[in-house]
Amino acid sequence: MKDNPEEVAQLQPDYLGFIFWEPSSRYFDGAVLQIASAIEKIGVFVDADLSSVLEHIKKYNLQGVQLHGKETPEYCKKLNKLKQKLDFKIIKVFSVKEKFDLSVLKEYEEVCDYFLFDTKGKLPGGNGFTFDWSLLKDYPSSKPYFLSGGIGLENVEEIKEFMRSPESNYCYALDVNSKFEEKPGLKNIEKLKEFKSLLSI
């Protein structure tokens, strides 16, 4: 979110994401938002210093952090320890191309609350392309995950089919972004309404 988070919040999503990676065209540096407490604010970071992550958690009262870079298990372990003082969730992103080695998840099991699978592209997120979701058919974990990467209105039937498959057993949430934008950071409210209606969520 960047330009119209209050409008999107009226649709009552479970989460709103705010990108705190400065090179992004969606970079958010606005004022602290007053939105319904039922909507969790998630900060998106890319290889950020732990001190910067904590500063943003406190400033924006974030309920979660989404790690979209090359953060190591050790990094996540250090961040996980800081949860003793601040209550937030850790979402580790994994970028998927034609193939994906699911064994890399094992080292993150104990130090993350959720995984997120996105399409590998030129930028860390927001590339507008889907990956082959069947790559998750051998998902080795019981940890809930977010499905991301170029999800739009044209994927509704595909999503419904996926949610009937065994690989969706631990699919916890859908992460939508670029396919619902008028421009980076500005969401098309009518498209979001239609998407929510078609999926009955």
CATH code (residue 9): 3.20.20.70
Domain count, the chain: 1
User: Which pLDDT band holds residue 124 (cuts at 50, 70, 90)?
Assistant: low
User: Which pLDDT band holds residue 122 (cuts at 50, 70, 90)?
Assistant: low
Residues 141 and 164: their CA atoms lie apart, in Å, by: 18
**pLDDT for position 84:** 79
**SS (HEC) of the chain:** CCCCHHHHHCCCCCEEEEECCCCCCCECCCCCCCCCCCCEEEEEECCCCHHHHHHHHHHHCCCEEEECCCCCHHHHHHHHHHHHCCCCEEEEEEEECCCCCHHHHHHHCCCCCEEEEEECCCCCCCCCCCCCHHHHHHCCCCCCEEECCCCCHHHHHHHHHHHCCHHHCCEEEECCCHHHEEECCEECHHHHHHHHHHHCC
Express as a percent the part of the chain with pLDDT over 90: 70
Domain containing 14: what range? 5-199
Highest mean pLDDT among 62-76, 84-98, 115-129, 132-146: 62-76
How confident is the model over 31-73, as pLDDT tens digits? Answer: 878 888 899 999 999 999 999 999 999 999 999 999 999 999 9
Kindly state the average pLDDT of the residues 127-147.
Answer: 87
User: Which pLDDT band holds residue 119 (cuts at 50, 70, 90)?
Assistant: confident
User: At a CB cut-off of 8 Å and minimum separation 6, what does 177 contact?
Assistant: 17, 125, 126, 148
How confident is the model over 173-199, as pLDDT tens digits? Answer: 999 998 999 998 999 999 999 999 998
Question: pTM to 2 decimals?
Answer: 0.92
